[in-house]
Amino acid sequence: MLKIVSARDYDDMSRKAANIISAQVILKPDTVLGLATGSTPIGAYRQLIDWYKKGDVDFSQVRTYNLDEYRGLGHDDPQSYHYFMRDNFFDHINIDLNNTHVPDGANPDAEAACAEYDKMVADAGYPDLQLLGIGNNGHIGFNEPDDHFSKGTHCVDLTESTIKANSRLFEREEDVPRQAYTMGVQTIMYARMILVVANGAAKAQAVHDMCFGPVTPQCPASILQLHPNVVLVADKEALSLCE
C-alpha cells in the first residue's frame, strides 16, 4: 500500500513531491489540500510557486487545511504557522486566503478552537491529498509518541525532543511554545491520499519505523501502513535504514 519513491537529494525530493501535488490540482482544480509546515516541505512549495508563475498550475479554486499551529501565537507572529504558510507559499500563488485554514492558535480556548477546526475540515469533506512531514520521533502533525492514537483536533504538550528540534527556528529554546493544536491521527487518515516527505539522516529511523516497524502509537507515522494510498518521497539518507 505504501509506495516508496527514492529521491537523489532534497531538490529532487521537493520536485517529485511538487509534481504529485500539482498533478492533483490539475486533475481536480477545486482540490482540498492538507498542508504541512517545517523545513522539509519548503522546497516543494518553492517549486509549486515557480510552476504557478510559469502558468502551469492554478490555485484559484484550491482549499487548504494545515495540520497544526502553536498554541498562544497570533496569526501575524513570525513564528506562527499562519505566518509560515503565507510567507513560504500563499503570498506567492493565486490562492484565495479565505480558502486557507490553519488551527487558531490565538484562541486560548483549546476545546473551542479544536472543535471549530474539526468541523471545518469535516465540512470540506477532508483532504483529497494530505502533505506530511515526519518528526525525528515519528510524529505526524504534532501527534507525538503516545500510548494511543489520537482522533480529532486536540491540544498537545510538545515533547522535549520536538521542542529541541524546533528550537533551531527560535532565538532561544525557552521561546518555543510548549503546546500546539494539531489535527488528530484519525483525521489525517481520512485524507484520500497521503504524501509524506522526508530528507536527511536524522529521519532515517522514523522513516524505517513508519514503513516497516510495528503499527504503534509510539511511532504515530506507523499508522500510515494501514492507509490505502500513501506515497513516501524521501532522499537516500532518510531511506538509509530501509535497504
Q: How many residues bind ligand PGA (CB under 6 A)?
A: 6
In DSSP notation, 48-72 reads HHHHHHTTS---TT-EEEESEEETT
Read off the C-alpha cell for 70.
502553536
Per CB under 6 A, 182 contacts ligand PGA? no
Q: Using alpha carbons, list the distances in angstroms from residue 134 to 55, 116, 174, 217.
A: 31, 25, 23, 14
- Binding segment for ligand PGA (CB under 6 A), chosen from 56-64, 119-127, 128-136, 215-223, is 128-136
Active-site residue 137, yes or no?
yes
Per CB under 6 A, 133 contacts ligand PGA? yes
- Binding segment for ligand PGA (CB under 6 A), chosen from 33-41, 150-158, 170-178, 226-234, is 33-41
SS3 content of the chain, % helix, strand, coil (to 5): 40, 20, 40
Active-site residue 139, yes or no?
yes
Per CB under 6 A, 135 contacts ligand PGA? yes
Query: Shortest Cβ distance from residue 40 to ligand PGA (Å)?
Result: 3
**Would you say 5 and 233 are in contact if contact means Cβ atoms under 8 Å apart?**
yes
Query: Shortest Cβ distance from residue 52 to ligand PGA (Å)?
Result: 22
d(CA 185, CA 136): 17
- Binding segment for ligand PGA (CB under 6 A), chosen from 35-43, 76-84, 91-99, 106-114, is 35-43
From the candidates 66, 99, 137, 199, give the one annotated as an active-site residue.
137
> Residues 39, 167, 179, 216: which binds ligand PGA (CB under 6 A)?
39
Active-site residue 144, yes or no?
yes
> Residues 32, 134, 207, 219: which binds ligand PGA (CB under 6 A)?
134
Question: How many helices (DSSP H) and strands (DSSP E) are in the chain?
Answer: 7, 10
Per CB under 6 A, 150 contacts ligand PGA? no
* Residue from 151, 160, 209, 161 nearest 182 by CA: 151
Kindly state the helix (H) or strand (E) to which residue 234 belongs, with its residue range: strand 230-235
**Would you say 182 and 153 are in contact if contact means Cβ atoms under 8 Å apart?**
yes
Q: Give SS3 for 15.
A: helix
Tell me the residue number closest to ligand PGA, measured at CB: 38
Per CB under 6 A, 34 contacts ligand PGA? no
**Would you say 155 and 229 are in contact if contact means Cβ atoms under 8 Å apart?**
no
- Binding segment for ligand PGA (CB under 6 A), chosen from 36-44, 87-95, 205-213, 222-230, is 36-44
Using CB under 6 A, which residues numbered 50 to 89 contact ligand PGA? Answer: none
> Residues 7, 13, 38, 45: which binds ligand PGA (CB under 6 A)?
38
Binding residues for ligand PGA (CB under 6 A): 38-40, 133-135
The catalytic residues are 68, 137, 139, 144
